[in-house]
Structure formats: C-alpha cells, structure tokens
Amino acid sequence: MNVVSMVVNRLVWFVPTVLGLLAVVFVLARIVPTDPAVLAAGENATAEQVQEARERLALDRPLPEQFVEYLRQVVQGDLGTSFYTQQPIVDDLTERLPATLELTILGVLAAGLIGVPLGVISGLNRNSWLDHLLRLVSVLFIGVAPFWIAMQLQLLFSMQLGWLPLSGRIDDFAPEAMTGFLTIDALVAGDLQNFLSALRHIVLPTLTLALPGAAVIVRFTRTSVVEAVNSPSVAYQTAMGLPRRVIVWKYILRLALNSTVTQLGLVFGISLTGAVVIEAVFEWPGLGTYAVRSILHSDYNAVMGVTLCVGVLFALSNLLVDLLQMAIDPRGAT
Amino acid sequence: MATSRREILKLGLLGLASLAGNSESASAQSRNRFVFANSSAFDSLDPHTVFDQGRAAVRFNLYDGLLRFVDNPPKLIPWLAESYAVSDDGKTYTFKLRADATFHDGTPVTSADVAYSIERILALRKGPASFYLDLIEPGSTQTPDPHTVVFNLTDPSAIFLTTVPNILVVNSALVRSKEKDGDWGAGWLARNEAGTGSYILRRYEPAVGWSGQRFTNHFAGWAGQPIDEIEFRTVQETNTRVLGLMRGDFDGADGLTYEQIQRLRPSPNVQILEAESMRIFLLALNNSKPLMNDVHFRRALAYSFDYDGFIKNIMKDSVTRNPGPNPVTIWGSPPGLKGYSFDLAKAREELAQVKQPLRKISINALAGYSESEQAAVLFQSALRQIGIEADIDVTPWPVVASRFAKAETQADVTPVWRSTFYVDPNNWVGEGFGTRYHGTRTMSYYSNPAFDQLLDQALLTNDHERRRELYEQMSQIVSDDAAGIFIYNTRWFGPYSTRVSGIRFSPASNGNDIRWATMTR
Amino acid sequence: MINLITSIVRHRTALVGLILLSLVVAVAIAAPLIVPYPEDAQTFHIERRLLPPSSEALFGTDRMGGDIFSRVVLGARMTLLITATVVLSGVLIGVPIGLVAGYYNNGISLVLGGGAEILLAVPQIILAIAITQSLGPSIGSVILALSVTYWPFWARIVFTETRSMCHETFVESAIALGVSAWRVIFLHILPNIASSIVVRTTTAIGTTAFASATLGFLGLGPPPPSPEWGRMIAESRDYLPDAWWYALAPGLALLLTVLGCTLFGDGLRDILDPKTRRRG
C-alpha cells in the first residue's frame, strides 16, 4: 500500500469514528444530572430565561435533531460556548492545546531517550545482573500509578530539596506566543529567564509522563534486540567474522529500532492518557485539566469539544506512526 | 578526548545547577511588584458576572463603585460618588459623582456610565443582579446631568445602600463598541477590562491569571509608596502556594487551612495577619424536602454535629463557634443565643417525634475544600449513630450553586460558607431564610410567614435600633426552627511576605484591596 | 492444566506475580478479620487525626483519624470488586463481539468492530470520567464506566486473532466441510486464541485497578469516606509534606496489585505462547 492510499484509508475511517465518538459523548452530555439549560441561563435566571436558553440551544428538540444541529456547527468550526469560561470552546482549546502537546511530545521523546538505550543494554547483556535490574525496574514503573509517582517526585524535588517548582507551567506570564510551546517561544525571544523557568517547570511532569512509557520501551526494545541477536542474518554476519561492534551498530540496532518505532504510537497513547491525570497533579494548563474541569462542572459543550480534539490528536498520532514506520521499513507496513 | 568529555560533563552540570538553582535571584531583582497566589481560577474578568469572594481581586483593583467598603468592622466610604441623598419615602437615591474621575482610557466618568452599568447588571442577571432584580426596573435609572444619577427603587430598601459598592462602573462607550449580538459586551469584558480602578489590566491569561499596572491618574489619588504592579496568579495547588510564600515567590496567598498557616509561621519570609471576619460556615439545610420539612428532624440533625470536636481537632481552635445565622461579629444576633450542642441523646428524643418515615439524606460537600468534606464525613458518621443514613456527594462550587437555584435540586445538607457580599445581617439571616429570596440567594428554601413579615419590616425601615430587634428575632426563629446548622465564624489569616505592609483588610474585600498597601523594595 | 500449574511454579516471574496477586485477593477477602480497626472505614476519631506511623497505627492515621493501614486493607475489597466485575464484563462483552466481528466479514462485523474502534479513539480515562460524572460518583458508576470503556480491548485482540485464524488451513477446511459457524467459532477458533485472551485478561486486571484508582484520585470514585485508594492518595495532597505517610500505604497497595498482574501476565505469556517462548 502506498502512502497516499494509506492516508486516504485513514481519513475514510476517521470520519465515522469521530462521528460515533461524538454521538457517544453527546448522549453522555444529555444524561448529566445538571440541566444544561439551567447552567447556560446562569444564576438568577427566571423560568422564562431557562426556557429561552433551552430554545436557543435547541435543547427542546428531539435528540437526533439536536445532534445534527451540533454537527452542522462543528463543520463550520463552531464548538459552542463554554458555560464556565464564557468563551468559544475553539478558543479555549487552542489556548490549551500547545501546553499538552509540549508536555506529551517531550514525554515521548524522553521515554524514547531513556527507554531505547536501556533496552539495548538490557538486550545485549541478556541475563546479566544489569538485565535483571533493568527488567525489575521497568516492571515496577509499569506498575506504579503516575499520580502517585508525581506526588513522590513533588515531595522530594519540590518540597524537601526545593530544586524544582511544584506545579504550573512558568513563573511569570508566558512570553509572546508563537508556537505556544513556552520553552521554544522563550528561546526564540531570547528570554533566558523565562526559558529556564519554563524548563524547570516541565521537568517533573515530563519525567512522570516518561517513566511508564520508558518502561514499556525498555521491555519492548529488549525483546527486539534479543530477537535480532538470535536472527539468522546476525548469526551469518558473526560467522563471517564481522567485529561485534559493527554487527551491533549496523544490524542489531536497526532491526531493533524498526520495531521500537511501532511502539511509539502506543507510548503516545499512554502519554496522552497519562497527561490527563498528570496535568491535574501539576496544574498544567492543558487539555487534560480542561477535560477534567469541564466534566466536573457539567460543561457539556466543552466536554464534547475536548473529546473531539483529543480524538483527532489520537488519530493523527496513529497516522504519524504509520508514516514513520513506512519510512523506516516500506515492506513491513500494512 | 578525555578532557573534552570532562568539559562537556562540566557544562552539563553547570546547566543542571542553573536549572535547579532557586529563583530567588529572579524575585529579588523584581521591582515594586506584588504577586498574589489565588486559589480560585480567574476564568472571567467580567465584574458584573463574577461575584464570588475567591475572585474579589478583579472587582477591587480594576473597578470602582459609587461607594466602597474599607476596614474592619467595615465602613462605607464615598468613592466614585462624592455624596448621596435619599428621598423621604426611601425609594429615590440620588448620587453626585466626582468630577475628576476618568476611566483607564482617559474618558471622564459620567452618570451615563453608571446607568449603563446597572442596566447591564440587570440584563445579564448574574452575580450582583439578585440584589436589584426585584428592586430596580430596567430603564428606570435617570441621569439628569452628567454628574448625577438617580436610582428609583420599586420599594424602600434598607439594604440598598450597602449593596451599592457592587454596582461597579464600566466604560459604557468602550463596552458598547464591543457588543456582539446584544451580549452587553459579555464576550469581550470576560477577557478585557473597562474600569476606573486603581490598577490597569496589563495581561490576562485564563490559565495563568492577570497582572495590573498602577493607574497613576486614579481619582482617589495616591499616598505614601503604593505598589506599582500587581499580579494575581491562579495557583490551585495548595502546596505550591505554601512553598511559594516560603521561598518568596509569592507575596500573598489565600485558601490555606489553619494547618498550612501554622506551617508558614516559622518562615522568615512570611508574616501572618489575622482578623475577625464575617464569613460563617454552616450546614445549609433544604427545608422544603420531605422529612427535612419537619422541625424535629432538623433539630435532631442540629444535635448531631460535633461542633466542639470539629473546631478543636479539624480547625485547631483557629475559629470560634457561631451559634446563629449571623456572624457574631455583626449586629443582629440576640445576646446569649445558645444554638445547638453535640448531644445524641437529645437528637434521638427529637427523632422520636418525627412522624414521616425516615429516608436516606444527601450531603453535598464542596470539592477542593477539605473542611467542607470533613464536616460532611463527620456529620455522616454521627448521623449513623442515631440511625440516619446519608450519602455524600462532592462537587465543585458552580455545580453546588446551580443546585441551590431550585428547591428540588438543592441537597438536603450542604456544608458551605456564606461570605460578606454586603455588610448587613440581611446578607446572612435575611437572604438565607426569607421566602422572597427563594431561587436567588436562599440557602434553605425555608418558608415561614412570621419570619417573612419581620423581614419585610426590616427591609423597609431605616431605623437602626428597630432593624436590630427585627434581625435578632429572625435569628431566634431560625435557630429555634433549626433551619440551618451553624458552625463557626471564620477568622481571617492573611499570609503575606514580610516586605508587604499596610494591607487594609475588610470582610468585603478579604484583603484583596491592594491600593493601600506598600512594599519595601 | 497440571502442566500449566507446574510451568507457572517453575517460571519465576509468573510465580512471583501469582503470589502477589493471591496475597492481595486473600487480604481483601479476609480484610475485616485481619485489620486492627475494622470499623475505621466508617467511624472516626478526630482527636487522633494525622498521626505518624506507630505501633498502634502501622501506616499512620488520616485526616479523620482513621487508621490508614486498616482503611487500605478494607479498600482492597472495593478495588477487587470493581476490578473483577469490570474484567469479567469486559471478557463477556469483548470476546463474543471480537469473535463475531472477526469471523464474519459483513455489515454486522463492521458495526461491531467500528463500535469498538470508536471507543478506542480517545483515551479510555476521558470517556470513563465523563460516564462516571454523568451517573454520579458511586461504585456502581465506576464499574459501569470502566466496563463500557474497556471491553473494546478484548474485542480488538480477539478480532485480530480470529481474522488470522480464519486463514489457517484447519479452519478453512472445517468451513469447507460445512461445519456450522458456531461450531467453528467455539470449537476451532476459541480454544486456539484462549491463551491470548488469558494473557490479556491478566494484564487487564492491573490496568483496571489503575483506572479505578485514577477515577478516585480525580474525585469521581466512590464518595468519601470510602477507603478507595485513589481517593486516599488525593486526600493526602493537602497534608504534604508533613503527613508524608498518608499516601504511602495506598500507593504501595496499588503498586503490589498492578505489579502482581504484570508479572503474572508476563509469565503466562511466556508459558502459553510458544512464539514468545522461543524468543526468551
């Protein structure tokens, strides 16, 4: 399958998936215990005003009709207004998306940077004490709750040692937004103080996010390395008398890395899920905190908007992983 | 090779060190800037819709009213208005505006701006609107000349004057130009500012907070060495507020429990200001629900809360018992009002007189406020001992508030605070229990014709001694009827940087009125 | 079966996992008998609140003066109940759907497979939070929310395996011989993919325990004062760093449970799946 047809295939599947997703969330939003019309009308609203809000929001019409109306607006790029922030949800989301992306991308990168080398070491030194230690540690990090780890990191690095900030994204107001990634924006603006501040703030959330992902990558890379070591081609090269260093770099790592890339999608998924709760612990102003707050406040337009946004993000990341895989190994991709 | 690697290592370590280095250097070189860690999020800056005390900083620093509350006990001082007069029938209030007041963009403040502001409040029907919806008809406010504004009330109201500080004046020309689809500029004003206040909004990011720069041309003038720059940051994580104060990153913070205040005391950077406040903590009861409408059942509930245990162990004796609906720090409570004590034997006696079948009751605690949750859990555990089961539900304030809007949705029991919106007993006992406030500011859906009659009188007369008697009687009725369960009156603890002085606390502003404060540089 | 047991006993990882898991289950079942203060799930002693670990309270006391150790052990029952129900319903919903969708190649399979994919299109936790909030926080809503959001994992794995099974010669010949679809599915396909299901289920127990704790942590689990682990960890945040012991016991309990599942699952995969066994 070539790249174009794969992208098209993805897109074709994407539309019904998102439609279905929206339908699920739409129904959920309608069974919330709080009446959305009352929320929209605000405090002190009279019965007529609530009724007026009900009509304005089309809440008095049958559910399918409401859904179609909602879709019509979504297509026009209008996700409605948040009851809570009084802002168009599109604005709310664009404000918060970069924060989540910055954290997730750094988290996945860190997971890869920690996970791949350790996995390779573990796999090349199979059954050594180092291998056993790494396996134990990685299994531990898969088993530990991210929010618990986050709190322990906060306890140690922020409360006891005072090295890193406990929560938030930056000390001051953000530098002029260009990418929305504070570290990059500050660097571009040549604002060292803000850059350091942003960097110090992102360390602990990134670490928390990266650890479970790194653990998954260690385990997977180890398996692929072991597999590669035992593969016929490597056995052949060894028999041919190629130096071990060359074999490791030229063959084993390439084989192992190929299969590791496939795991990145999985890790991105873990990270995005992790971000929801990690953002809550670190008060990171991203989509996760927005989703949780909207849900807790029965802000149903916002809930639908954020679900849609995360769904698109998820789909895009899967697409990206597929493309990456195809670039690395055109034969293997399906 | 080896050397270069060591060099790189060194560089890396240096980088790490600068990364780990604390930001004291950063805050030390900062100018005359006051940074406050606010526990509530500034999701909107609209002074006519946002009305909780957690976000009072916007109202007190970016905007002004005709009158203003300062100090403790609170005093009402002339502000945008230099004087006012009340007609004999108590229905017409005429305010004379100062001639020298301007908005931040230089436009002079006129009576048209005041009229626009009250119309906007009435139209948006949020926040302060509940004070005026049944008192001022839309369009009835007159502006005979640019410096005179006349409010025409439908009935005389003894409390109108104390609510006037809430009519914050917006720049009508500016807001009008930002109106969209008849929204009274709500979309724009949620993120921008159009006031006369002591500070000009400089930056606002909903997820971060806002900062303001001193408005040097403010009509009230400036004395001494005022603070030039204020910053209110949303910091919902309690420990971040505590640590930030200790490290000197923050110059003030709110929303700390007494235990956290105690943790701050030894810190050389922090001073703790204290004051008796007017903010009562109560278990709001929904008197309209079956079973809850039985006075014996309510009394049984009132005998089932461990007041002393709660105040001693959970509040660490940082507050005092408040037996009635009004804070003990304001007039209007009968001298010697006893209230209820923790007495399960009496609770069982009262319960024995309940005719309706018992049922499970609902408790709605406030998310993010551990005291509210702990009160709920403590209450639930005591109720079980007298054979009443209770379910606890924890929800954020906006959800609690929307449930309060209807008798059917308000939970049976809600552990909640009632802050000072205006300084008058009506703010507590009147609004909390009068039938006329059902669906707006009630906390009880309590309905008692005898009470309502007293309330009507108290709202109509301006005779202070008479009003004191009336509110004392109302408090007695509410207490006898156990229409609410009253626990304590808040003592205000303001943790501030030792560099700050001159914080002028008032129960209305909760210390958020920064224009009077000074900072050593 | 006996073979399986001996392999598990021989396989160190699997054995450690199984022991951990059995320990958690045993403790949960015997909870009221073994904890020092069985009444502390509901009754409080506020005069003893926030005490550090001592011989009387092994892991300290919480904000209401409850013994944290007792509460964590009592909480194990809740976690176990939630996890067991969710995993069971995940299997009962996901496996049949996966089988049908994988075996047939028609509209029904499209709808079923599509349904699963829709639910997999966002992080499970977001959907679970939304459902729990809609239903109101209680054990029941947590169970329902997680069941609804987690069955697609089984459906997906069973679907993929069934699809590839359909191309195996023995299945193709069975179909060619006119064996009924149900017989093919249950007699030929299911036994051959059972090991994947078992492995998947074992790890899912850990994931589910995680998810339910996450809901609790975000304030959406069973309401206070239930001794739910996630909620206890969230509660502790107001009392850090002074009450450093507060989150220790619930965190460790969660870790042991998930660790047990991961190790046991790893071991089972090695034992049951000859392909990975070859890989070592």
Neighboring chains of A (3 or more beta-carbon pairs < 8 A): B, C
Verify whether the Cβ–Cβ distance A277 to C251 is below 8 Å: no
- Of A100-114, A175-189, B395-409, B486-500, give the lowest mean pLDDT range: A175-189
Q: What is the rounded distance in angstroms from the CA atom of residue A250 to the CA atom of residue B131?
A: 78
Q: Higher-confidence residue: B323 or C187? A: B323
Name the residue among B22, B207, B398 with its Cβ closest to that of A297.
Answer: B398
Residue B253's SS3 state is: strand
**Which domains are delineated in chain A?**
89-333 (1.10.3720.10)
Subunit partners of chain B (3 or more CB pairs within 8 A):
A, C
Q: Is the pLDDT of residue C274 over 60?
A: no
Give C16 to chain A, closest Cα distance, Å.
12
| C76-263: CATH topology | MetI-like fold (1.10.3720)
Q: What is the reported pLDDT for A256?
A: 73
At which residue do the structure tokens 């041309």 appear? B217
**What percent of chain C clears pLDDT 90, i.e. is strictly above it?**
32
In this structure, chain A runs to a length of: 334
**Quick check: B37 and B233 in contact, CB under 8 A?**
yes
Average pLDDT over residues C172-186: 85
Is pLDDT above 60 for B3? no
Predicted confidence (pLDDT) at residue C124 exceeds the cutoff of 60: yes
Q: Which residues contact B98 (CB under 8 A, 6 or more apart)?
A: B80, B81, B82, B109, B147, B219
For residue B258, which residues of chain C lie inside 8 Å, CB to CB? none
pLDDT in tens, B353-375: 999 999 999 999 998 888 999 99
Kindly state the tokens that stand for C178: 């006119």
pLDDT surpasses 90 at A136:
no
Which pLDDT value is given to residue A84?
A: 77
Cross-chain CB nearest to B43 (options A85, A158, A166): A85
Question: Which range is most confident: A25-29, A185-189, A208-212?
Answer: A208-212
Which residues neighbour A312 within 8 Å (Cβ) at sequence distance 6 or greater? Answer: A18
8 Å CB contact of B186 and A43? no
Q: Can you give the pLDDT at residue B10?
A: 47
Determine the pLDDT at residue C187.
85
- The tokens for A264 are 């990145």
Do residue A226 and residue C279 have CB atoms under 8 angstroms apart?
A: yes
Sign of CA dihedral C164, C170, C176, C181: negative
Of B19, B237, B240, the CB nearest to A196: B19
Choose among A31, A140, A311: nearest Cβ to C259: A140
Name the pLDDT band for A32 (thresholds 50, 70, 90).
Answer: low
B 343-382 residues inside an 8 A Cβ radius of C = 365, 367, 370, 373-374, 376-378, 380-381
How far from B507 is each of A34, A175, A295, B38, CA to CA, in Å?
32, 36, 33, 17
Task: Give the C-alpha separation, B201 to B491, whole Å.
Answer: 31
Specify the 3-state DSSP secondary structure of B311.
Answer: helix
At B392-426, the pLDDT tens digits run: 999 888 888 888 988 988 999 999 999 998 999 99
B500: CB partners within 8 A, 6+ apart: B34, B251, B252, B271, B517, B518, B519
Domain ranges of chain C: 76-263
Q: Is the CB of C191 inside 8 Å of chain A's CB atoms?
A: no
Q: Is the CB of C122 less than 8 angstroms away from the CB of A145? A: no
Specify the pLDDT at position A37. Answer: 75
Interchain contact A49–B (C-beta under 8 A):
yes
Does C86 or B236 have the greater pLDDT score? C86
Residue of B nearest to A40 (CA): B402
Which of C39, C218, C228, C238 has the highest number of chain B CBs within 10 A, making it the mutation to test binding with B?
C238
Residue B208 to residue A95, Cβ atoms within 8 A: no
Instruction: Say whether B95 sits in a helix, a strand or coil.
Output: strand
Which tokens go with B512? 């958020």
pLDDT for position B302: 97
Would an 8 Å CB–CB cutoff place C51 in contact with chain B?
A: no
Q: Is C49 in Cβ contact with B314 (below 8 Å)?
A: yes
Question: What gap in Å lies between CA B180 and CA A86, rounded to an integer?
Answer: 13
Instruction: Give A203's contacts in chain B (Cβ within 8 Å).
Output: 19
**Contacts of B159 by beta carbon, 8 Å cutoff, 6+ apart:** B131, B422, B424, B426, B427, B430, B459
For residue C136, the chain B residues in CB contact (below 8 A) are: 393
- The residue ranges of DSSP E strands in B199-294, in sequence order, are 199-205, 209-214, 229-234, 252-253, 270-285
CA distance B448 to B434: 8
Instruction: Specify the pLDDT at position A44.
Output: 63
Q: Check whether B337 has a pLDDT greater than 70.
A: yes
pLDDT (0 to 100) of residue B31: 58
pLDDT (0 to 100) of residue A330: 58
Contact C47/B373, CB-based, under 8 Å?
no
A13 touches chain C (CB under 8 A): yes
Cβ contact, residue pair C46, B310, below 8 Å: yes
pLDDT digit string, tens, across residues B64-98: 999 999 999 899 999 999 999 999 998 999 999 99
* pLDDT for residue A33: 62
The whole-number pLDDT of residue A95 equals 87
Backbone angles phi, psi at B37, to 5 degrees: -95, 110
C-alpha–C-alpha distance, residues B498 and B273, integer Å: 10
Nearest CA in chain A to B33: A172
A18 close to C (CB below 8 A): yes
Residue range B205-209: average pLDDT? Answer: 83
Most confident residue range from A64-78, B316-330, C191-205:
B316-330
| Residue ranges of C 126-165 with Cβ closer than 8 A to chain B | 136-137
Residue C1: pLDDT band with limits 50, 70, 90: low
What residues of chain B lie within 8 A of the CB of C137, using their CB?
393-394
Contact by Cβ (8 Å): A222, A256: no
pLDDT exceeds 60 at position B25: no
Nearest CA in chain A to B250: A171
Lowest-confidence pick of A55-59, B27-31, B418-422, B437-441:
B27-31
- Confidence class for position A254, pLDDT limits 50, 70, 90: confident
Instruction: Determine whether A30 is exposed, middle or buried from the number of CB atoms within 10 Å of its CB (0-12, 13-18, 19+).
Output: middle
The C-alpha of C46 sits at a distance from chain B's nearest C-alpha, in angstroms, of: 6
Who has greater pLDDT, A321 or B123?
A: B123
| pLDDT exceeds cutoff 80 at C142 | yes
CA separation for the pair C195, C275 (Å, rounded):
12
Phi, psi of B485 (to 5 degrees): -115, 115
Nearest to C210 by CA among C154, C273, C128: C128
Least confidently predicted of A224-233, B101-110, B203-212, C27-36: A224-233
CA–CA gap between residue A211 and residue A267 (Å, rounded): 10
The owner of tokens 């408090």 is: B475
How deeply is A323 buried, as exposed, middle or buried, from its count of CB atoms within 10 A (0-12, 13-18, 19+)? middle
Q: Please, what is the angle between helix C190-217 and helix C124-135, to 10°? A: 60
CA distance, residue C183 to nearest chain A CA (Å): 31
Instruction: State mean pLDDT over A158-174.
Output: 83
Q: What is the band of A271 on the pLDDT scale with cuts at 50, 70, 90?
A: confident
pLDDT on residue B430:
95
pLDDT above 60 (res B18): no
> Closest by alpha carbon to C233, among C125, C75, C23?
C75
pLDDT of residue B9: 45
**pLDDT at position B343 over 70:** yes
Average pLDDT over residues C116-126: 82
pLDDT tens digit sequence for C214-267: 999 988 888 888 999 999 999 998 888 888 899 999 999 999 999 998 889 888
Q: Are B117 and B111 in contact (CB under 8 A)?
A: no
**What token pair was written down for C229?**
């682990």
Residues A296 and C217: beta-carbon distance below 8 Å: no
Peptide bond preceding B73: is omega within 30 degrees of 0, i.e. cis? Answer: yes
- Record: contact B208-A86, CB cut-off 8 A: no
- Mean pLDDT, chain C, rounded, equals 86
- Cα–Cα distances (Å) from A22 to A17, A141, A185, C5, in that order, read 9, 34, 34, 46
Find the CB nearest A44 among B129, B187, B243: B129
